[in-house]
Amino acid sequence: MKKMVSALLAFVIWIVGIPVHTTTVYAYTEEKPFVSAQSAVLMDVASERVLFGKEAQKPMKVASLTKIMTAILAIEKGKLDELVTISPRAVGIEGSSVYLKQGEKVRLRDLLYGLMLRSGNDAAVAIAEHIGGSVEGFVYLMNEKATYLGLQHTHFMNPHGLDHPDHYSTAYDLAKLTAYALKNPVFQEIVKTKSITLSSPWETGRQTFFNKNKLLRMYPWADGVKTGFTKQAGRTLVTSATKDGHQLVAVTLNDPNDWYDSIKLFEYGYEHYDLVSIVKREQLIWQKPDHKRGEKEFDLVAGEEFRYPLTAEEKKEKRVKIEPLISYPLKMIQEENMPVGSARIYLDNQLIGAIPLVTKSPARSTFFSKWKEIIFSWLEQGEEL
């Protein structure tokens, strides 16, 4: 009987054409994704708005995600083409390694690729000694930078992430750190590199590093960032993706299914949020209501663009407000492009950002320009935030 049922089932599958192997389709429509991570967060890079969180502020061991801080500090404080002399302390560090040898001279740039692609713990120590004068000096700089960036639940004890009771961070802090680091073009170029062959004086004269971040090959929009693992931390991962100019960063801590959870988070973000230009550069924010004869006339315009991820509901219901805050006496203004305050931007009465207000001479109105403004206002009705 069992053989007959099996044969019948196989026949039905053959007739209907149910495929044995399926192609992954990246789509996600549920309101909130389920992830197996103990802690996770999805953040918009431009605005640092949290789009998803799960125990996002819980301090945890983060393993080699520590190297994100090591890399950005080295990029900001070092010179990429200077040579780093490898000390005895940098040789033979446990865990991942790029197999440095004592006395070698390696370019800082090459050590950074070894750090972020191969996750070399020896590269981390070599970088720390070179930039900070010692590992301890560099760790001081790491914690100082964490304080500067507002990483309130982060503390470093080493530059590589090997387990230590006082070495920890959170998914939220790591996302915030990564959003900051991704604004640096050198960092961004390194972490999106799938593989690279370098000519620094390793044993063979050349060294090829392959990025451990499998998402760079699994997900078409992936462009970073760093993997991590220790027995105590479990699998840790920070990834970034950019789709249609919208860059997101996902963090998963202690996650046995990290690759697919990251994809799930990205698809949730792109499905539910659009990066909207709420204020455009030089957009009129404030116009002087009365103008006395002899006074110079200036409008106040946005000094820069402000973009923010919004849901369809947030866009449709016009829940964004812009409030000018003028901190300079307007009657003393004598020139254009002079900063005079800020425009504060609110979503549901919660402050989400601010941009500078600068002066600009108003364009002279003509009969035709007035009609042009009226026509454009008609066309834009219903599309304003």
Q: φ and ψ at 380, to 5 degrees?
A: -90, -5
* 200 carries an active-site annotation: no
Of 39, 54, 61, 64, catalytic: 64
* 64 carries an active-site annotation: yes
> Structure tokens of 75?
């990029």
Handedness of CA 59, 60, 61, 63 (dihedral sign): negative
Q: Tell me the sheet residues that pair with 50.
A: 43
CA distances from 16 to 2, 44, 84, 239, 347 (A): 21, 43, 64, 39, 51
Q: What is the spatial distance between Cα 259 and Cα 223, in angstroms, rounded to a whole number? A: 14
Q: How far is CA 286 from the centre of its chain?
A: 33
CA distances from 70 to 64, 102, 124, 231 (A): 10, 21, 7, 21
Q: What is the spatial distance between Cα 227 and Cα 156, in angstroms, rounded to a whole number? A: 17
Of 39, 61, 96, 119, catalytic: 119
* 169 carries an active-site annotation: no
CA distances from 279 to 265, 283, 346, 363 (A): 27, 7, 12, 20
DSSP conformation class of 201: S
Of 39, 54, 61, 67, catalytic: 67
Supply the residues annotated as catalytic. 64, 67, 119
